[in-house]
């Protein structure tokens, strides 16, 4: 799949439209005077094709145009894309209208509203161009991230602005901007077909095969590590077992299989404990058990002592607070009372008190008696609590004394009985050797038959080798060189047709430096050293024509159009344009312009409707074939933006 441009539509703020219809599969020429809007067409198309920013020149277009749209001609239908132009203080808007169908009718202004975002538009256009899954993985040592080609990358090869077509240093669209040259180099192998659509699946398969190979190689490495060099590890284990008395045979076997069987016998043979170890070990075990019990008893006693001290401190605080409250209640004796014990006069102000506002003396007496009773109970319990705390402290001291005695006894046993220590060391060594033998033997069943794993490794290595050759940078580079050689044939032929400098020598596209090289007798000559602007324009044309011929014939996923702005400017500058007829221009220059346009016309005819060229220019050649390609002539009142807007 891919697409061409069928129509460009502009909407003003009142809803009026300006339509520029183009012919697919043909050469389309928009000729006209300066300042009529020709140069803005590339940026209008670029914006509608998903540009992140709007680079439409500031001025009448940005003021008068509300929405800009294009109609795409697809292999199985049409698509309409419109984007609202941003206000002067912004670079873009989110308003994007998209419609696709067998036959799309250009919608009225009132119907334009956002129905997709910029990310969705990019994916849709990438799909319309036929760009599938792809990735460029930088070579080892490169720090840039892998790059996947999309619609934006394909547009590097479809536009040639006025300043680009005459450049002697930059061959492709936006090549002068930062990072773009490397992006062009990264995506060219995919667009040329040197990296096919199966490259991604092959890379994924290669990654999986390498993962499986690493797993199997790790298994073999582990097996070899367990075997050691030959049978040295198994023999070493047997020698250690012999030294400690676990293996009583006289000679260590020489074969690995016999060593493994001998180790299994050592593992199966029960080990009888030495009597001395048990007899003299009982006392140590008893002392350790006793020490553990004493430590636990000490912990519990300390917790009880802490709890008792906390309780005594709480009792003391309660008693102090209660005594203070009783002292305050006794001050009530200052109040005068009647016979019923009720307060009748305040001792300070001598005012009479009502019985319903002040509590009765009986009530205060009751409270005071309750507090006195509680204080009495607390005071009676205090000596008992002190006794409990004293008993716990004595218990702690006794436990600490017993722990000290236990430690001294244990140190005596361990210090005096070196034989017991030797026996324990011997037992630990025997247990250590038996553990190592057990670990070794656990891995042995996995090692006895690894021929199948080795066969899998061999198969994986063969498959990896094939895929590495198919996906290697060398293989890709070989295919690129082959493609460039084919392009070189057309470039050299068309350079002669345009009578360009160095056209007698072989020409080639240098994708490392993104330029054209002429291989002369004196060595390679790059485009920047090829002389005049006429040559630079010519070499741009023949390079893009050769490139697009390959892309079309190989059905590569690049849009099927090339938009060129002002290719005749080096022959026919704007200040000499009166009516486009190039009157007053040297005959040789007029002929050079005619050859250039005739080559473009013959090129689209060569591709039989599968490619479209759009050119905006001042030139208006009075030839039938040229006039048949003119779609609009912008002179006088005719221009991109109507005067009535």
Query: Are residues 403 and 281 part of one domain?
Result: yes
Looking at residue 275, its pLDDT comes to 46
Pairing of strands 27-32, 65-74: unpaired
Query: Are residues 440 and 358 part of one domain?
Result: no
Query: 3-class DSSP state for residue 548?
Result: helix
Strand partners, 561: 612
Distance in angstroms (rounded) separating the CA atoms of residues 640 and 645? 11
Run of H or E residues at 447: helix 418-447
How many independent structural domains does the chain possess? 2
Q: Is the pLDDT of residue 282 over 90?
A: no
Query: Are residues 412 and 285 part of one domain?
Result: yes
Residue 385 in any domain: the answer is yes
Residue 327 in any domain: the answer is yes
Q: For residue 72, what are the contacts with CB-CB under 8 A and spacing of at least 6? A: 3, 4, 5, 6, 78, 79, 80, 81, 128
User: What is the per-residue DSSP string for 226-295?
Assistant: HH-STTHHHHHHHHHHHHHTS---SS--SSHHHHHHHHHHHHHSPPPPPHHHHHHHHHHHHHHHHHHHHH
Q: How confident is the model at residue 510 (pLDDT cuts 50, 70, 90)?
A: very high
Distance in angstroms (rounded) separating the CA atoms of residues 590 and 568? 9
Residue 563 in any domain: the answer is no
Looking at residue 582, its pLDDT comes to 67
Looking at residue 441, its pLDDT comes to 78
Query: Are residues 412 and 299 part of one domain?
Result: yes
The answer to whether 641 touches 18, Cβ cutoff 8 Å, is yes
Looking at residue 329, its pLDDT comes to 58
Looking at residue 410, its pLDDT comes to 77
Residue 305 in any domain: the answer is yes
Query: Are residues 385 and 260 part of one domain?
Result: no
Q: How confident is the model at residue 288 (pLDDT cuts 50, 70, 90)?
A: confident
Residue 316 in any domain: the answer is yes
Query: 3-class DSSP state for residue 82?
Result: strand
Task: Kindly report the CATH number assigned to the domain that includes residue 354.
Answer: 1.10.287
Q: How confident is the model at residue 279 (pLDDT cuts 50, 70, 90)?
A: very low
Over residues 179-187, the mean pLDDT reads 90
Distance in angstroms (rounded) separating the CA atoms of residues 37 and 48? 17
Residue 614 in any domain: the answer is no
Query: Are residues 255 and 219 part of one domain?
Result: yes
Query: Are residues 309 and 242 part of one domain?
Result: no
pLDDT digits (tens, 9 = 90+) for 95-136: 999 999 999 999 999 999 999 999 999 999 999 999 886 666
Query: Are residues 327 and 257 part of one domain?
Result: no
Residue 164 in any domain: the answer is no
Query: Are residues 410 and 286 part of one domain?
Result: yes
- Residue 501, CB-side half-sphere exposure with 13 Å CA sphere: 15
Q: How confident is the model at residue 267 (pLDDT cuts 50, 70, 90)?
A: confident
598 or 237: which leads in pLDDT = 598
Residue 294 in any domain: the answer is yes
Share of the chain above pLDDT 70, in %: 78
Looking at residue 588, its pLDDT comes to 84
- In this structure, of 265-274, 391-400, 439-448, 619-628, the range with the lowest mean pLDDT score is 439-448
Q: How confident is the model at residue 315 (pLDDT cuts 50, 70, 90)?
A: low
Pairing of strands 96-101, 77-84: antiparallel
Share of the chain above pLDDT 90, in %: 43
Q: How confident is the model at residue 548 (pLDDT cuts 50, 70, 90)?
A: very high
Query: Are residues 257 and 322 part of one domain?
Result: no
Domain containing 289: what range? 275-416
Query: Are residues 266 and 302 part of one domain?
Result: no
Over residues 14-42, the mean pLDDT reads 95
Query: Are residues 318 and 222 part of one domain?
Result: no
């Amino acid at each position: 799949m891919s697409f061409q441009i069928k129509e460009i539509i502009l909407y003003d703020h009142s809803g009026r439209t300006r339509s520029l219809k183009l012919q697919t599969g043909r050469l389309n020429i928009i000729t006209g005077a300066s300042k009529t809007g020709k140069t803005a067409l590339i940026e209008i198309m670029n914006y509608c094709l998903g540009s992140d920013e709007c680079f439409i020149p500031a001025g009448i277009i940005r003021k008068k145009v509300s929405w800009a749209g294009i109609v795409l001609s697809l292999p199985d239908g049409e698509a309409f894309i419109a984007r609202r132009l941003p206000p002067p203080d912004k670079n873009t808007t989110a308003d994007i209208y998209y419609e696709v169908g067998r036959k799309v009718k250009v919608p009225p202004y009132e119907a334009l509203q956002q129905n997709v975002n910029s990310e969705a538009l990019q994916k849709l256009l990438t799909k319309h161009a036929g760009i599938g899954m792809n990735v460029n993985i930088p070579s080892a040592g490169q720090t840039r991230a892998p790059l996947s080609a999309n619609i934006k990358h394909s547009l590097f090869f479809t536009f040639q602005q006025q300043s680009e077509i005459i450049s002697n240093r930059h061959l492709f669209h936006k090549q002068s901007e930062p990072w773009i040259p490397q992006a062009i180099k990264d995506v060219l192998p995919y667009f040329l077909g040197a990296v096919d659509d199966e490259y991604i699946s092959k890379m994924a398969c290669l990654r999986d095969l390498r993962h499986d190979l690493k797993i199997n190689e790790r298994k073999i490495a582990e097996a070899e590590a367990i075997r050691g060099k030959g049978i040295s590890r198994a023999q070493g284990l047997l020698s250690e077992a012999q030294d400690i008395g676990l293996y009583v045979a006289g000679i260590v076997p020489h074969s690995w299989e016999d060593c493994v069987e001998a180790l299994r016998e050592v593992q199966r043979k029960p080990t009888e404990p030495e009597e001395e170890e048990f007899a003299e070990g009982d006392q140590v075990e008893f002392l350790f058990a006793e020490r553990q019990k004493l430590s636990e008893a000490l912990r519990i006693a300390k917790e009880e002592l802490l709890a008792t001290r906390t309780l005594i401190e709480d009792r003391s605080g309660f008693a102090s607070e209660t005594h203070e409250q009783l002292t305050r209640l006794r001050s009530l004796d200052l109040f005068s009372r009647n016979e019923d014990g009720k307060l009748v006069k305040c001792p300070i102000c001598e005012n009479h008190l009502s019985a319903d506002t002040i509590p009765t003396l009986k009530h205060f007496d009751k409270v005071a008696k309750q507090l006195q009773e509680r204080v009495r109970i607390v005071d009676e319990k205090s000596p008992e609590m002190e006794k409990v705390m004293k008993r716990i402290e004595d218990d702690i001291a006794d436990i600490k004394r017993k722990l000290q005695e236990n430690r001294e006894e244990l140190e005596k046993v361990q210090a005096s009985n070196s034989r017991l220590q030797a026996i324990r060391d011997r037992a630990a060594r025997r247990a250590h050797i038996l553990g190592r033998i057990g670990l070794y033997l656990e891995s042995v069943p996995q090692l006895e038959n690894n021929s199948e794993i080795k066969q899998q490794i061999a198969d994986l290595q063969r498959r990896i080798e094939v895929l590495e050759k198919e996906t290697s940078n060398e293989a890709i580079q070989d295919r690129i060189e082959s493609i460039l050689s084919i392009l070189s044939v057309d470039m050299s032929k068309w350079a002669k047709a345009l009578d360009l400098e160095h056209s007698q020598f072989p020409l080639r596209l240098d994708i490392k430096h993104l330029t054209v090289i002429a291989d002369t007798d004196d060595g390679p000559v790059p485009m920047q050293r090829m002389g005049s602007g006429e040559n630079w324009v010519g070499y741009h044309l023949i390079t893009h024509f050769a490139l697009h011929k390959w892309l079309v014939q190989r059905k590569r996923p690049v849009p099927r159009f090339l938009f060129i702005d002002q290719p005749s400017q080096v022959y026919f500058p704007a200040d000499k344009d009166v009516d486009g007829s190039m009157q007053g221009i040297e005959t040789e220059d007029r002929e050079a312009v005619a050859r250039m346009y005739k080559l473009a016309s013959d090129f689209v005819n060569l591709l039989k409707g599968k490619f479209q060229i759009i050119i905006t220019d001042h030139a208006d050649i009075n030839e039938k074939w040229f006039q048949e390609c003119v779609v609009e002539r912008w002179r006088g009142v005719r221009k991109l933006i109507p005067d009535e807007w």
